[in-house]
Structure 1
Amino acid sequence: MPRITLVTLLAAVLFFPTLASAAQISASYQVNLNSSDPGLVVHSSDIADNPFTFDLNEGDSEYFTLFKIWTGESAVNDDDQLSQPISVDFSFTSPEVMTGSVDGETVGVKDGFWGHYQAGELTWDGPLDLVFGALGDGLLRVTLFDAVFNEGYLFGLHDGEYYGAKVKAKIELLSDASQVPEPGTLALLGLGLLGLTLRARRRAS
């Protein structure tokens, strides 16, 4: 291999990080919700593995059912129409250790003639964006989707887990993190590059 080509190759490996072809996504989650009055009393049960694990390529996403939500109340009373907070805490161990939460609210609603339609509503404030990687160029987005649960059409709720709603989640790897060479590798490549440079100067003199 010509000297200039070898020097160029070493410099490229030394100064330009390489991109990983895929990233492993692994996290556990915890649902926090309103379990007492006032407000609609709600319950949840995990559906996705906890923790869950899958692989994503940059630009890809995973869409899955995270948990189920329901109420045991048989009707929406006045106090049930007060919004109450709900959140899902995520603890990631891969692609690196990081934490964050998606926040939202639950509320009981009445509609129609004399409130004959009743239901629980779940809405989320927005997605969770997590930045990762040694260079801060990795970006993972967690989105949870709104849901309506325990709908009733005859002046009450269809109470119980059976009439609950499955809450969907989407995790997107918007940008994978660059893989930076280990310090030992950098030192070795640096010495090699320095040696080639000195050799080239001696031949030129």
Structure 2
Amino acid sequence: MKRIFKIVVGAMVFGGAWAATAHASPITFGGTYAVTTSSGLSATSNSAIDLGSPFTLSPLDVGQSVTDNLFTLNPTRQATGTQSFSVAFDFTQPPPSFGANGSGTAIVNRQYLFFGYYFDYIKNNSIQFTNPLLKLNFGPNNDGELDISLLTDSFIGLQLHTVEARFTLVKDPTAVPEPGSLVLLGTGLLGLCLISRRNRRRA
């Protein structure tokens, strides 16, 4: 009987500890992103092929990734040379909200044709990211980790330079214990304390 009681108490302790760290998986991320550019660049987005804003990512398990097009950079014929751009992510799902900023540069060249006509273009392979890997912490204890890798695809001849983002769930967040879990854990610990106290008295 005593052995059964100890097993039950141990199971309550284990169940309480497990419930305190349990979490929903996979995780769905959602939010918005905004792009800003210097005068020599513009950013366009196609709702048919780009992620769009606001957005909802496919549910992710730990170690899984999803890659989406964000926007296409274009020259604006207003300035040449090294131009800058930045993208700000603001996640509202899962709460509480969290976010990060990424940035980069691109070289805009000007090609003269004839009779004063010219066209501007982004030099191939000239896009560089200042911080290509963004590590975001999230969750009630801020210990989950979502990584965003910024990438680019260049299409020679079409002068299309698409900025992409690869979202990778690196670590699940721990959950805030529910009241019922805390009661279960506390009951189990109390039982262990009573058993230990009784054993000390007998000794």
| TM bucket normalised to smaller | 0.7 to 0.9
Correspondence for 1:172 among 165, 168, 172: 168
Cα 1:177/1:197, change in 2 over 3 Å:
same
Query: Aligned letter for 2:166?
Result: K
Correspondence for 1:3 among 5, 13, 18: 5
Report matched runs for 1:23-172 at 5 Å: 23-34=27-38, 36=39, 40-46=40-46, 47-53=50-56, 54-73=58-77, 80-81=80-81, 83-96=82-95, 97-109=97-109, 119-120=122-123, 121-125=126-130, 126-148=132-154, 163-172=159-168
Seq. identity, %: 24
Q: Taking structure 1 as the reference length, what is the TM-score of the superposition?
A: 0.72
Task: Compute the displacement of 1:110 (Å).
Answer: 7.3
Task: Compute the displacement of 1:135 (Å).
Answer: 3.7
1:185 matched to 2:180? The reply is yes
1:18 matched to 2:17? The reply is no
Task: Compute the displacement of 1:65 (Å).
Answer: 1.2
State the distance in 1 between where 2:4 and 2:140 align: 34
Aligned residue pairs total 181
State the distance in 2 between where 1:52 and 1:142 align: 15
Cα 1:202/1:140, change in 2 over 3 Å:
closer
State the distance in 2 between where 1:87 and 1:50 align: 15
Task: Compute the displacement of 1:108 (Å).
Answer: 1.3
The RMSD of aligned alpha carbons is: 3.2
State the distance in 2 between where 1:198 and 1:80 align: 74
Query: Aligned letter for 1:131?
Result: N
Task: Compute the displacement of 1:141 (Å).
Answer: 0.6
Q: Note the residue ranges of structure 2 that are not aligned, 5 or more in a row.
A: 112-119
8 Å contact from structure 1 (residues 28, 91) kept in 2 = yes
Task: Give deviations 1:63-108, integer Å, cap 9, x for gaps.
Answer: 11112221243xxx9x511x22211110101223102111111221
Q: Note the residue ranges of structure 1 that are not aligned, 5 or more in a row.
A: 112-116, 153-157
SS at match of 2:62: coil
State the distance in 2 between where 1:194 and 1:175 align: 29
Q: Which stretches of structure 1, 4 residues or longer, exceed 6 Å deviation after superposition?
A: 201-205
Query: Aligned letter for 1:70?
Result: N
Query: Aligned letter for 2:5?
Result: R
SS at match of 1:56: coil
8 Å contact from structure 1 (residues 145, 168) kept in 2 = yes
Task: Compute the displacement of 1:127 (Å).
Answer: 1.2
